[in-house]
Structure 1
Amino acid sequence: MSLVSIQAPGAVVMIRPQRFHPNPETAADNAFQRADAAENLGARAALAAAARDEVTGAAAALEAAGVRVHVFDDHGEHHTPDSVFPNNWFSTHAGGHVALYPMHCPNRRRERRMDVVEMLKAQYRVQDVIDYSGLEYDGVFLEGTGAMVLDHVDRVAYTARSRRADPVALERFCTHFNFEPMCFDTSDAAGRAVYHTNVMMSVATEFAMVGLDLILDVARRAEVRRRLQESGRIVIALDHAQIANFAGNALELSGADGRVLVLSERAAASLTHQQRALIERSARLLPLRVPTIEMAGGSVRCMLAGIHLARRSSASTA
């Protein structure tokens, strides 16, 4: 398998919500979230319609770039306001492996969908499904590639410590999937810990974008930079304002004409000319318009569950 396909998948799963709204159960530790976004039913309906349209538009833009997109609709029967962020409840890995994760908030546990897993089995070569969700009963949580930013090449799981990234679950994942955990404590400009690592860090094939200043321990901060540089990547440091604008919440994908870095329009606008030039040495920037979805405290990377699986030769184009 080439380096591109290891770190930058060519296919993703997206969930199109019908009843989207910022989740009150996650507001306590998600500093990016707008809790006041929909104060009445009329505003909430408009918000849901806008979010639905943003997913449809984002999927179309990805498909135009040559990324294969599997879109599933969530009609909200199970009261899953954060279903638009599937990367938290499952991940896929080269060799045919799928992981299901324990979620911190009860209403997010209902986001897990077996029809998504069955689609993966039907269209891709899945060898096994490792289910960590039972750890929820022990109060142990690990919210997928939100909690962990994975270097699929050097096998490092960069993880900001939080109640959504329990060290017990992290150790089990790293043992099963052959990753080295690299954990660190964080603090944003207001002194709050980062709730998910993927809002402050993105690891691409030839570069990494990371809010180094959010890592509290100076020695650990230097070690994270060193590890990324030793992997051959250019390290692009993001400041606090860029992190607040979701610049760290980006994902590199493989398109028809090479790699693309997908991120929100807001995130792209926060980048400097020099940062954009460094990124564009190896990946084309693909900004997506998702301002409504960002009210829930996540952005483009959170919306995309990358598929790191070999496709079956008989798979349909669905």
Structure 2
Amino acid sequence: MSQQTSSTILMVRPSNFGFNPETASNNFYQKQDERTADAINALAVTEFDGFVQLLQEKGIHVLVVEDSPNPVKTDAIFPNNWFSTHDDGKVILYPMFSSNRRLERRKDIIELLINGGFKVDEIIDLSFFEQDEQYLEGTGSLILDRVNHVCYACRSVRTHAVPLEYFSRIMDYELIEFDAMQEINGRLSPIYHTNVMMHVGSDVAVICLESIPSSAERLQVQVYLEKTGKKIIPITTKQKFEFAGNMLEVQNEQGEKFTVMSNAALNSLSTAQVKSIEKYTEIIAPPIPTIEKLGGGSARCMMAEIFLPLVKV
């Protein structure tokens, strides 16, 4: 039976982390910084290493891959957007909105998994959709309920209908599509990634329901979450801007479950919300302010879950 959580996480240690102007056009969480590129990357590396250490202290297996310095990839620290792995041995490569983020797709990372004893039966490369400017950015775009084979996705310039339907067909997932909006400088804009406003764990769903303007779509999401046995923890728009929707549930080899979020996300939550999560999982909350500010992504985006089966010896 499929599991919702993985005990192996792949993370990419940055070489050239920084502000990416190509992605900033629709990622309103990114902010410029006056410090030098070297100073910024050094801060990101320190935050990254501290994050990895927190995970490892809880017995979570972390595969740390060094970012290749050339070509420069400012967002390599967010590998969850370009690939996902599945318990049937499939690896999916995704079509990326930003041309400079397409450089992050590395065959050697897939080879590293194979050499590490993971079974890869099929690599499904969806990057051909980029030719038609159609995008689907991995588990940024897709919130997967792996046990119930339900996929939640908010439409945006990084999450298009055609590749979304293609994914749901080839992977046999029921698709729950909706619009999710946020107010930026007085204007409503689509939320660029679903994982900014929504997280689904084994027992819990953390979601900014108020960002879904259509009452019919909002109700459909709620019904599916409840039908699949999730305890819904609503977050506010303000909390979403602190990355409170950007969480991931992981487990260690003993099967103990943890909800990983940034320190900023944790600090934005109420005592009642924290207690609701802690009823089911322990919380791990690394401080990653530089990565959040310049990268416009948070803790969940930094972790690519490895669900591939191990090769039987």
TM-score of the alignment, normalized to the shorter chain, above 0.5: yes
Show structure 1 runs of 5+ residues with no match: none
Whole-Å separation in 2 of the counterparts to 1:133 and 1:68: 29
Deviation of 1:255 (Å): 1.7
Q: Give the CA deviation at 1:44.
A: 2.2
Alignment match, 2:305: 306
- 1:73-222 counterparts in 2 under 5 A? 73-122=66-115, 123-190=117-184, 191-222=188-219
Residue 235 of structure 2 is aligned to residue 242 of structure 1? no
Matches of 2:155 and 2:69 in 1, distance apart?
31
Assess if the C-alpha contact under 8 Å between 1:19 and 1:75 holds in 2: no
| TM-fit CA distance, 1:158 | 0.6
Length, aligned pairs only = 307
Sequence identity percentage: 39
Offset, 1:313: 5.0
Cα distance in 1 between the residues matched to 2:122 and 2:210: 38
The structural deviation recorded for 1:277 is: 1.0
Question: What is the alpha-carbon distance in structure 1 between the residues aligned to residue 233 and residue 292 of structure 2?
Answer: 23
Match of 1:297 in 2: 296
How far off its partner does 1:308 sit? 1.1
CA contact (8 A) 1:159 1:183 kept: yes
Equivalent of 2:18 in 18, 21, 25:
21
Q: CA RMSD in A?
A: 1.2
The C-alpha deviation readout for 1:83-141, integer Å capped at 9, x for no partner, is 10000000001111110001011000000011111122222111111010121112111
Choose the corresponding residue for 1:51, options 44, 53, 61.
44
- Residue 224 of structure 2 aligns with an amino acid whose one-letter code is R
Find runs of 4+ consecutive structure 1 residues off by over 3 angstroms: none
Alpha carbons of 1:24 and 1:76: their partners in 2 closer, same or farther (altered >3 Å)?
A: farther
CA distance, structure 2, for counterparts of residue 244 and residue 189 of structure 1: 11
Aligned to 2:258: 260
Q: TM-score, normalised by structure 2?
A: 0.95
Q: Name the SS for the 2:183 alignment partner.
A: coil
Give the partner amino acid of 1:69. Answer: V
Q: Deviations over 1:188-232 (max 9, x none)?
A: 133221000001000000010000000110111011011101111
Unaligned 5+ segments in structure 2 are: none
> Secondary structure in 1 aligned to 2:91?
strand
- What secondary structure is seen at the aligned counterpart in 1 of 2:243? coil
Larger mean Cα displacement after TM superposition, 208-217 or 56-65: 56-65
1:243 corresponds to which letter in structure 2? K
